[in-house]
Amino acid sequence: MEHLITETLGYARDHFTAFGLETAQVDALLVAGERDLRKELLQLKSLAEAVPADADKVAQSLHALKGLLMNMGNNNAGQVFAELETAFKSTKEVAGILALLAAG
């Protein structure tokens, strides 16, 4: 998870700066973004580890992470979560989610 967070914050700084935001505004967005990203990743981990997993909540969390990552400029990671969301909706399998969270 830490790698994903660090990578996303780097993308986000560039992404927000490209919009012409002041450094203080960018810094505030990074603090809020990191907080939200950590919260959602931990929530997804908890939901995916639950037996049985609440499929609706897992899907909502994947969707939220996809949007958060893309809004922070990490489109590659956002696409990975979009693919996980699609796969999860058809299989209801959490193994891929847990593997991704453990890897980074």
Concatenated DSSP letters for 40-60? HHHHHHHHHHSSS--HHHHHH
Question: pLDDT averaged over the chain?
Answer: 94
**Domain parsing of the chain, residue ranges:** 2-103
Residue 9's pLDDT is what?
A: 97
Residue matched to tokens 């453990």: 102
Whether the full predicted model's pTM is greater than 0.85, yes or no, is: yes
Q: What CA dihedral angle connects 7, 30, 49 and 61, to 10 degrees?
A: -110
